[in-house]
A and B are shown apart, each in its own frame.
Chain A
Amino acid sequence: MALLELRDIHKTYHLGGETIRALDGVSLDIDSGEFISIIGPSGSGKSTLMHILGCLDSPTSGTLRLDDTMIHDASSRQLASIRNKKIGFVFQFFNLLPKLTVRQNVELPMIYSGHSGKERRERAMTALRRVNMEDRSKHRPSQLSGGQQQRTAIARALVNDPRIIFADEPTGNLDSHTGELILEMFDQLHNEGRTVMLVTHDPEIAAVTPRRIEIRDGKIANEADPTLAGKAPRFEQITNSEAKPTT
């Protein structure tokens, strides 16, 4: 059984009488331990999909299963708990709390999972060590470079030991060298057995991941294993292969 199972997910926005189909019937299976990249033009619905996968947003229609939880009709309490324990989310704009230090930022998820102060500190430092940030633990986000902020955000995503990591353009605001470093970290996380999924604009990055999903106009346009990875092409059922303009 797949870890994540999406069936006919729609997400529609209504803006001043206009209907925007951010996601227009997405079906997808993700197995445990996969390393996936999502590519597609701007406005195609990548972030929307990631947010729904990450239990941050709910679909307008369609079903979504994670493990044995039906996410589409889970309570907000269940969703919060899943975000807290099963999922680590890394954002393009880091989303660190400016008033807290690096360590306190990393501790944040553990506050909501009810860990004691001592345990929080220890685990936060371990996570910071993993991303090479332990010597910056007392700094505030505004005193860090973009790469350092993103590493802090990764430490925060890791600290509750989630099985799945979602990252929405994690290297979008970084120079290519720093981006590579961050990417290596995701590769490591994948090698540890975690399921990693990231959104990117960069075909070179997408080429690194074993599985690649392309989104166009809210639909999965094409999914293939990148030939660069040297594996046999693996075409899956393509849903809504015709790209229709959104109306």
Chain B
Amino acid sequence: MNFGTVIQSGIKEIGAHWFRSLLTMFGVICGVASLVTMAAFVKGKENLLRESLAETGGLEKITVESEDDLPDYQKHLEGEAKGVTLKDVYALQAGAPMVHDITPSINKSRYRGYLRVSRKGRGARPWMLQGTWPSALEIQEHEIEHGRMFTMMDDLLANNVCVIGTEIRNSLFDEMDEQGETIIPIGERILINYVPFTIVGMFKEYMSDEDRKKKEAAKAAGETRSRRNMFSRGGDSNTRRTQYIYYQKNNAIMVPLNTLVAKLDSSYETGSVLDRKLSEITMKIEDVSLLSPSLQQVRNVLMRTHKGLEDFEFETQEEFADDITLAIHNERVSGMFIAGICLLIGGIGIINIMLSSISERVREIGICKSVGATTMDVFTQILIESVVLAVAGGLAGLAISPILVNTLASLADDTTPPIMTTQAMLIAFGFSALIGSLAGLFPAIKAAKLDPIQALRYD
């Protein structure tokens, strides 16, 4: 039997009862549309979360922080705890080949200790002042847009140079001058805790692609509104989390480590700079799949330099990554559940309509059999009708899903922007075909088993 002919007659059969068919397809349409929509929203969320993971250095970043609280069995040695120091950095450079870009830093936040950044009577509220090495740029996923990063030479000479985030520029200068030109404050002087510093570089402005688009559109429209209300604020927790990371990075100031120690550190005691307690040491693993051996290697080196004292602590982004995976998984499961129920109902609808369709056509089936249709021919014909019905529903579902996604996205302005993927659409479509063939199975068997004579007598 010719396949094309069967599909054609299947379509004809559906067209003959188009309204009934449409009602039947409704479940499949809903199922496919909700599957695609759910996948689009989850994908959007996932991208956002992965983006924020990457923005903070990705999985390959590990941090060693100074830890004041020693474990119980070392409490009596508290006086000797010095935390992580530059000595550790050099020891790691020499003895831990599984990590690279080892970067020391001393962090001063405006919440802990005194931190004041000003210029000509205007002040800024930096998120964090970091005294560090130039390698911090890469490890913290920063990008210089204007000027340059300070160098190891700046560090060696303890030069008063700094690199700032765009929000610092906005507070101390403005984003744009009267002509609407972006202000690039390279070479300008600012005061950090009343010590003069020269700005040598400025990071790019960190924001989500969505916000960047909005900003460009606003700029093109010549809008001069305060940029604060222009961007998505609030929103769901994932959006907030990512926005917060952008906020932190835009409000950062970096200076050379030595400069910070020599010029800004009120707590700086006499003694070698090598013994100065660092806030943290960050580094990258060579191979992300070797996370725990790498950690072990770092631990071994540090145990030696610390003479067994556990006054340091590891922090990896693994937990964050696991959180992301779990959150995405949960959303996907609940979305699948709803779409699955829709498809199930759709499938039952198809079984129902196929059963009533074959009982209307018992005589026809008998006639077909009397002129030579085999059991298999009848089976295939009914099955294909059912698949055609489901696939038509699936296509309709795919057709309406972009509309559904856009409507939902615009109704809830705060949510993470959804991303429709071909993969999700293919899977949803595949499911509709699968549902069609499963639903057609029982009616097709029933029709195929009809005895020709009994079928011909039927009325």
Interface residues of A (CB under 8 A from B): 51, 54, 56-57, 76-77, 80-81, 83-85, 89, 91, 95-97, 99, 108-109, 111-114, 116-117, 156, 160
A111/B375 in contact, CB under 8 A: no
Residues on the A chain within 8 Å of B371, using CB? 83-84, 89, 108-109, 112, 156
User: Which residue in A57, A81, A96 is a CB contact (below 8 Å) of B372?
Assistant: A81
Offer 21 A-B interface pairs, CB within 8 angstroms, sorted by A: A51-B453, A56-B456, A57-B452, A76-B374, A77-B376, A80-B373, A80-B377, A81-B372, A81-B374, A83-B371, A84-B372, A95-B363, A95-B366, A95-B370, A108-B371, A111-B1, A112-B371, A112-B373, A113-B372, A114-B2, A116-B2
Residues on the A chain within 8 Å of B368, using CB? 97, 108, 112
- The distance in angstroms between the C-alpha atoms of A74 and B186, with both chains bound, is 95
A97/B5 in contact, CB under 8 A: no
- The distance in angstroms between the C-alpha atoms of A108 and B370, with both chains bound, is 10
Q: Which residue of B lies closest to A95 (CB)?
A: B367
- The distance in angstroms between the C-alpha atoms of A51 and B370, with both chains bound, is 10
How far, in Å, is A83 (CB) from chain B's closest CB?
5
Contact A95-B1, Cβ < 8 Å, known A80-B374, A80-B375, A85-B372: no
Is B369 among interface residues, defined by CB-CB distance under 8 A?
yes
How far, in Å, is B245 (CB) from chain A's closest CB?
63
Residues on the A chain within 8 Å of B372, using CB? 80-81, 83-85, 109, 112-113, 160
Is B16 among interface residues, defined by CB-CB distance under 8 A?
yes
Residues on the A chain within 8 Å of B377, using CB? 80, 112
Interface residues of B (CB under 8 A from A): 1-2, 5, 12, 16, 363-364, 366-377, 451-453, 456
Residues on the A chain within 8 Å of B452, using CB? 56-57
17 additional A-B pairs beyond A80-B369, A97-B364, A109-B371, beta carbons within 8 Å, are A56-B370, A56-B453, A57-B451, A77-B375, A80-B377, A84-B372, A85-B372, A96-B367, A97-B367, A99-B16, A108-B371, A111-B1, A111-B5, A112-B1, A112-B368, A156-B371, A160-B372
Residues on the B chain within 8 Å of A85, using CB? 372
Q: Which residue of B lies closest to A160 (CB)?
A: B372
Residues on the B chain within 8 Å of A96, using CB? 367
How far, in Å, is A131 (CB) from chain B's closest CB?
16
A117/B5 in contact, CB under 8 A: yes
A112/B453 in contact, CB under 8 A: no
Q: Which residue of B lies closest to A99 (CB)?
A: B16
Q: Which residue of A lies closest to B456 (CB)?
A: A95
Q: Which residue of A lies closest to B449 (CB)?
A: A76
Residues on the B chain within 8 Å of A95, using CB? 363, 366-367, 370, 456
Residues on the B chain within 8 Å of A89, using CB? 370-371
User: Which of B12, B370, B376 neighbours the largest number of chain A CB atoms within 10 Å of its CB?
Assistant: B370
Residues on the A chain within 8 Å of B370, using CB? 54, 56, 83, 89, 95
Q: Which residue of A lies closest to B455 (CB)?
A: A56
Residues on the B chain within 8 Å of A56, using CB? 370, 452-453, 456
Q: Which residue of A lies closest to B363 (CB)?
A: A95
Q: Is the interface of B mostly helix, strand, loop or mixed?
A: helix
Q: Which residue of A lies closest to B377 (CB)?
A: A112
Residues on the B chain within 8 Å of A91, using CB? 456
User: Which residue in B12, B367, B376, B453 is a CB contact (below 8 Å) of A57?
Assistant: B453
How far, in Å, is A197 (CB) from chain B's closest CB?
16
Residues on the B chain within 8 Å of A99, using CB? 12, 16, 364
- The distance in angstroms between the C-alpha atoms of A84 and B369, with both chains bound, is 9
Residues on the A chain within 8 Å of B369, using CB? 80, 83
How far, in Å, is B108 (CB) from chain A's closest CB?
83
How far, in Å, is A69 (CB) from chain B's closest CB?
15
- The distance in angstroms between the C-alpha atoms of A111 and B6, with both chains bound, is 9
How far, in Å, is B394 (CB) from chain A's closest CB?
26
How far, in Å, is A231 (CB) from chain B's closest CB?
34
A76/B2 in contact, CB under 8 A: no
Q: Which residue of B lies closest to A76 (CB)?
A: B375
- The distance in angstroms between the C-alpha atoms of A198 and B364, with both chains bound, is 23
How far, in Å, is A160 (CB) from chain B's closest CB?
8
How far, in Å, is A180 (CB) from chain B's closest CB?
26
- The distance in angstroms between the C-alpha atoms of A107 and B363, with both chains bound, is 18
- The distance in angstroms between the C-alpha atoms of A227 and B87, with both chains bound, is 128
Residues on the A chain within 8 Å of B16, using CB? 99
Residues on the A chain within 8 Å of B374, using CB? 76-77, 80-81, 112
- The distance in angstroms between the C-alpha atoms of A243 and B451, with both chains bound, is 30
Contact A111-B2, Cβ < 8 Å, known A56-B453, A80-B372, A80-B374: yes
A114/B375 in contact, CB under 8 A: no
How far, in Å, is B446 (CB) from chain A's closest CB?
15
- The distance in angstroms between the C-alpha atoms of A120 and B371, with both chains bound, is 15
- The distance in angstroms between the C-alpha atoms of A81 and B5, with both chains bound, is 19
How far, in Å, is B361 (CB) from chain A's closest CB?
9
Residues on the B chain within 8 Å of A83, using CB? 369-372
Q: Which residue of A lies closest to B376 (CB)?
A: A77
- The distance in angstroms between the C-alpha atoms of A160 and B372, with both chains bound, is 10
- The distance in angstroms between the C-alpha atoms of A26 and B374, with both chains bound, is 28
- The distance in angstroms between the C-alpha atoms of A108 and B369, with both chains bound, is 10
Residues on the B chain within 8 Å of A160, using CB? 372
- The distance in angstroms between the C-alpha atoms of A80 and B5, with both chains bound, is 19
- The distance in angstroms between the C-alpha atoms of A236 and B5, with both chains bound, is 49
- The distance in angstroms between the C-alpha atoms of A80 and B368, with both chains bound, is 10
Residues on the A chain within 8 Å of B376, using CB? 77
- The distance in angstroms between the C-alpha atoms of A76 and B449, with both chains bound, is 10
- The distance in angstroms between the C-alpha atoms of A83 and B371, with both chains bound, is 6
- The distance in angstroms between the C-alpha atoms of A56 and B452, with both chains bound, is 6
- The distance in angstroms between the C-alpha atoms of A80 and B365, with both chains bound, is 13
Residues on the A chain within 8 Å of B456, using CB? 56, 91, 95
Q: Which residue of B lies closest to A113 (CB)?
A: B372
Q: Which residue of A lies closest to B13 (CB)?
A: A99
Q: Which residue of B lies closest to A82 (CB)?
A: B372
How far, in Å, is A162 (CB) from chain B's closest CB?
10
- The distance in angstroms between the C-alpha atoms of A247 and B106, with both chains bound, is 109
Q: Which residue of A lies closest to B8 (CB)?
A: A117
How far, in Å, is B74 (CB) from chain A's closest CB?
84
